[in-house]
A and B are shown apart, each in its own frame.
Chain A
Amino acid sequence: MISLKGFFRGRTAIQPIWIFVIAIFIFFSFMSEYFLSLGNITNILVQTSTIGLIALGMTYVMINGNIDLSVGAILGLAASLAVGLQDYGLTIAIIVALASGILLGAINGLVVWKTGVNAFIVTLGAMLGIRGLIFLYTGEQSFYSMNFAFADFGASTIGPFPVLAIIFLFCTLVMHLVLTRTGHGRNTFAVGGNPEAAIDAGIRLGRHMMINFIIVGFFAALAGVLLASQMGAATPNLGRDYELWTITAVVLGGTKLTGGYGSITGTLGGVLAIGILRNGMNLMQVPAFYVLVILGVILISVLIIDKKLNVPSTKEVRI
């Protein structure tokens, strides 16, 4: 156990979630003959790209000490707009859809910043309200895309790689660099880790919070557009429970709900863990309801292990 603790400490430590990802990857490789193939692996990436994109933004918001429950609703609205507005031209439809995410994120951020009301409450309200807007806009109807370019995009590939997977991995890389290499990233940690110290250091708290809400709003909308193009359609209930899956992935990746800790690499691991488990159990023909039970148990177990591993660091002797 001691050596295990030492192994996880320090900057270059491998995050526990990645050990888990590797373990289940190997496990399913042996359990199912279909699992270990290029086709299936790119398939996992495509399946996880929706949750994954939102999780990138959610990581920022959660490191910042906030949370956004409205992402599933934003995804649903953006998907409906992207399909429903195609009469005005595909470009306009997509721009409006993405802009709706940015705008709603900005409103969330502004309310949290200016009123000081807890982000959980603000975005809970936004989640209900935006879902209502979707029903108003769609009249409870599903929209189908008549534009084949749109529907084809979701299934297109560059060489053997699906475009959706490439977009997801590219965004992951960019978001990782922004979080670890920029002033905004650093301040996001500072504000989440200790808001008072951040204010004392002359950091403009509200600005960073708002930027992060805009980022997550944008990614939720992007995920909505891509999901709609994958399905060639948008339903008013699209994105239900996605906020919970996203938060699950982010938390699995080691980001703390209380803020100040987290990483994009961890989130990628969390997203992949969920994707591989669902895909692998699917291939092993585990009934869907068991999959949910197993995922729930795994989420709690991983967090318990993480907690056990992290306890010693707080007991370190002061120097």
Chain B
Amino acid sequence: MTPIQGSTGQRQLIDAEPVLKLEGITKRFPGVVALNKVDFDVRPGEVHALLGENGAGKSTLMKVLAGKHQADEGTIILSGEEMAFENPKHAKRAGVVLIHQEQSLVPGMTVAENIYLGSLPKKWGNRVDWPKLREDTNRILETLKCSFQHDDLVGSLSIAKKQMVEIARALVFTPRVVVFDEPTASLTDHEKPVLYDIIRNLQKQGVGIVYISHRMDEIFHLSHRISVLRDGEYTGTVNTCDTNEDEVTRMMIGRSLELDHASKPTEFGENMLELRNLSVRRIFEDVSFKVRKGEIVGMYGLVGAGRSEVAETIFGLRGYTAGEVVMDGEVVNFRNTHDAVVKGIALVPEDRKEQGLVLGMNCRDNMTLASLSSVSSMGFMKGLAELSVYDKYHQAMKIKSPSWRQKVGNLSGGNQQKIVIGKWLHTHPKLLILDEPTRGIDVGSKAEIHALVKDLAKSGYAVLVISSEMPEVLGLSNRIIAMYEGRVTAEFDGDSVSEDVLVQAITGQNTEQRASPKPEAV
């Protein structure tokens, strides 16, 4: 598991009266009971982790809490007072703030304007009090140790920094309960400690914290208590100091799971992809590595290190300015993605909703999107052929979807990702590039996708995995390419590298030594 700086010692259990109490919350949607008599409480100064697979009802529970949904049954008690939040603003005023995983920022406005959106400080005549706005914003940014300025445009910030703005926004009101919904989903290991500090600060001020995450290491690092939901049912609460990951996982899914390091692929063929001193001006420089048939190569680095950009360049989304890309023995420089697909490259993108799926289309249509010519003749679609493609991957990957007509937007993250992968498998690629393949996906689906990737490599695909999660990179890769600020700083053997060496390589330490060089061998 990822090493986390700071204290990992046992936390004192907090034995105060809960600041917030949810009792017997039931929420029904047409045809489904999303929450069934769920109890939950948070004590002041406590981090209470809420766990469950995607679809277990965590987000729904939090939306009920934050006033986005109204419960059909049950009560919300805040500081001993029964509340019925009609809308998010109402909840916010009462001191319940939800920091949402889908960001709700205005890209064309500055950081300060975003933080105070809807509550800009005013002076006489309803004019915005700019000096005060600047001052207040700077104060908040300082407590968060943000590296950006109050007048930066939000659209120009990285995902991680946008997240910080989102958190900053919560601090404007004096919150009594703050809900973090997957706050680290878009942060790298390097950026997480900052978030942890923020959480500890809030805690010290007596704020109750609800922390939703899929990542066990974080939960065990931060929380005092853990509550688990499964299929809309409350399965129990445990004290973090009295439990372990296995028990919590069993509570979540009814079985235990582990990344199986032993099952990595072992037989490699010839080079499928080779980058020779590849550069794109001002983005990355001098990137060289190989991916062989049957091999999984991991690319590890911080957000902004240039990993996704390297993948995009291979895939023809950007042109390169120096060096060369050799694919299957041939130097290539694709002008568009179509040529890359024809040559046998598949890219499962970082952001499946933005780049991977057409959300308004159904499962089947998304599945065949990249390979229409294989399911059509003379330009006309063959419905049965399409359906058999869908059925094939639906079964092979255990996609949970009621029918092929289901709009992909209504599926959970794990199932959406399987559809994207299925879409690419049907193009019969030789090289499969996966950019953050398990971001925001629940534990069960994650393990399934990991197993799938290994199986694919064993059946002869060359696989390049980009990930910000150390356990994922270590658990999957035969070799690991470390990147830092647009350069490859080191290449490691995936089985023998230690976690600290890897962290050093991606944070720019020891770059001149090229730690444990294993460029050609393995």
Q: Chain A residues in contact with chain B, CB under 8 A?
A: 2, 10-11, 181-187, 189-190, 193-194, 196-204, 260-261, 312-313, 315-319
- Cβ-based interface call for B34 (8 A): yes
B365 at the A/B interface (Cβ < 8 Å)? Answer: yes
- Asked if B361 lies at the interface with its beta carbon under 8 angstroms from chain A, I say yes
Smallest CB gap from B59: residue in A: A318
| Cβ contact of B55, chosen from A196, A199, A312, A319, cutoff 8 A | A319
**Is the C-beta of B481 less than 8 angstroms from some C-beta in chain A?**
no
Binary interface profile of B, 353-391, with partner A (CB < 8 Å = 1, else 0)? 011111111000100111011001001110000000000
B372 x A186 contact (CB < 8 A): yes
For B30, the chain A residues whose CB sits under 8 A away are: 2, 312, 316
Q: A200-B349, A204-B336, A261-B360 given as contacts; is B410 within 8 A of A182 (CB)?
A: no
Indicate if the CB atoms of A318 and B361 lie closer than 8 Å.
Answer: no
B32→A317 contact, CB < 8 A? yes
Instruction: Flag if B55 contacts A197 (CB, 8 Å).
Output: no
B353–chain A nearest beta-carbon distance, Å: 8
Q: Closest residue of chain A to B340, judged by CB? A: A202
B401 within 8 A of A: yes
Q: Is B380 a contact of A197 with CB atoms below 8 Å?
A: no
Q: A197-B356, A199-B317, A201-B423 are in contact. Are A315 and B29 (CB under 8 A)?
A: yes
> How many whole Å from A235's CB to the nearest CB in chain B?
39
With A201-B369, A319-B402 already in contact, the answer to whether A182 and B380 are too (CB < 8 A) is: yes
CA distance A317 to B32 in the complex (A): 7
Q: Contact: B338 with A203, CB < 8 Å?
A: yes
What is the bound-complex CA distance between A193 and B357, given in angstroms?
9
- Determine how close the nearest CB of chain A comes to the CB of B314; give it in whole angstroms: 13
Query: Which residues of B are interface residues toward A (Cβ below 8 A)?
Result: 29-32, 34, 54-55, 60, 317, 336-338, 340-342, 347, 349, 354-361, 365, 368-370, 372-373, 376, 379-381, 400-402, 405-407, 410-412, 415, 423, 427
CB-CB under 8 A from B380, the residues of chain A are 181-183
In angstroms, how far is the closest chain B Cβ from the Cβ of A218?
17
Cα distance A196–B31 in the bound complex, in angstroms: 33
Contact pick for B358, options A11, A194, A313, A315, CB 8 Å: A194
Q: Which residue of B lies closest to A314 (CB)?
A: B409
* Other A-B pairs beyond A11-B405, A183-B380, A204-B336, 10, CB < 8 Å: A10-B405, A182-B379, A189-B358, A196-B355, A197-B356, A197-B358, A201-B341, A203-B337, A318-B412, A319-B406
How near does chain A come to B227, taking the closest CB pair, in angstroms?
A: 20
**25 A/B residue pairs, CB under 8 Å, sorted by A:** A182-B381, A183-B373, A183-B379, A186-B365, A189-B358, A189-B365, A190-B365, A197-B354, A197-B357, A197-B369, A199-B337, A200-B356, A201-B341, A201-B423, A202-B341, A203-B369, A204-B338, A260-B358, A260-B360, A316-B30, A318-B54, A318-B411, A319-B400, A319-B406, A319-B415
> Inside 8 A of B410's CB, which chain A residues have their CB?
316-319
Q: Pick the contact of B337: A187, A194, A202, A316 (CB < 8 A).
A: A202
* A-B pairs with lowest CB-CB distance, top 4: A202-B341, A201-B370, A193-B358, A183-B372
Please give, as numbers and ranges, the residues of chain A lying within 8 Å of B347 by CB-CB distance.
Answer: 200
Closest to B372 in A: A183
User: A265–B31 Cα gap in the complex (Å)?
Assistant: 30
Q: In the complex, A62→B20 CA distance in Å?
A: 49
User: Are A193 and B356 touching (Cβ within 8 A)?
Assistant: no
Decide: B411 and A317 in contact? CB cutoff 8 A.
no
A318 contacts which chain B residues (CB < 8 A)?
54-55, 410-412
Residues of A within 8 A of B55 (CB): 318-319
CA distance A145 to B355 in the complex (A): 54
Query: Which B residues are in CB contact (< 8 Å) with A199?
Result: 317, 337
Task: With both chains docked as a complex, state the minimum distance between the C-beta of A178 and any C-beta of chain B, in angstroms.
Answer: 8
Contacts of A194 in B (CB 8 A): 354-355, 357-360
A199 to B336, CA, bound (A): 8
Given contacts A204-B336, A318-B412, A190 and B358 within 8 Å (CB-CB): yes
Shortest A141–chain B CB gap in Å is: 44
Interface centre among B347, B355, B400, B411 (most CB of A within 10 A): B355
Distance in Å from the Cβ of B383 to the closest Cβ of chain A? 8
Instruction: Please tell me if the beta carbons of B358 and A198 are within 8 angstroms of each other in the complex.
Output: yes
Q: Min CB distance, B408 to chain A, in Å?
A: 10
A194 closest partner in B (C-beta): B358
Instruction: Indicate the member of B54, B336, B411, B423 with the most A CB atoms within 10 Å.
Output: B336
Q: Separation in Å of the A306 CB from the closest CB of chain B?
A: 15
- Least CB distance, B432 to chain A, in whole angstroms: 13
| Complex CA–CA separation, A317 to B29 (angstroms) | 7
Q: Report A15 CB to chain B, min CB distance, Å.
A: 16
- The CA-CA distance from A194 to B412 in the complex, in Å, is 19
A201 to B29 alpha-carbon distance, docked (Å): 34
Contacts of B317 in A (CB 8 A): 199
Q: Could you tell me the distance between the alpha carbons of A101 and B341 in the complex, rounded to whole angstroms?
A: 34
Smallest distance from the beta carbon of A121 to chain B beta carbons, Å? 19
CA distance A316 to B54 in the complex (A): 15
The residue of chain B having its C-beta at the shortest distance from the C-beta of A184 within the complex is B379
Evaluate contact between B401 and A319: CB separation under 8 angstroms: yes
Known: A193-B359, A199-B337, A200-B355. A317 touches B34 (CB 8 A): yes
Kindly provide the distance from the CB of B150 to the nearest chain A CB, expressed in whole angstroms.
30
A137 to chain B, nearest CB (A): 37
A200 to B356: give the CA distance in the assembly, Å.
Answer: 7
Partner of B361, one of A189, A312, A316, A319: A189
Closest B residue to A202 using CB positions: B341
Query: Which one of A189, A198, A199, A204 has the highest number of Cβ atoms from chain B below 10 Å of its Cβ?
Result: A199
- Give the nearest-CB partner of B55 in chain A: A318
**B348 shortest CB reach to chain A, Å:** 9
Measured CB to CB, the nearest residue on chain B to A180 is B381
Given A318-B54, A318-B411, A196 contacting B360 (CB threshold 8 A): no
A181 contact from B31, B354, B381, B423, Cβ within 8 A: B381
A316 CA / B55 CA spacing, docked (Å): 12
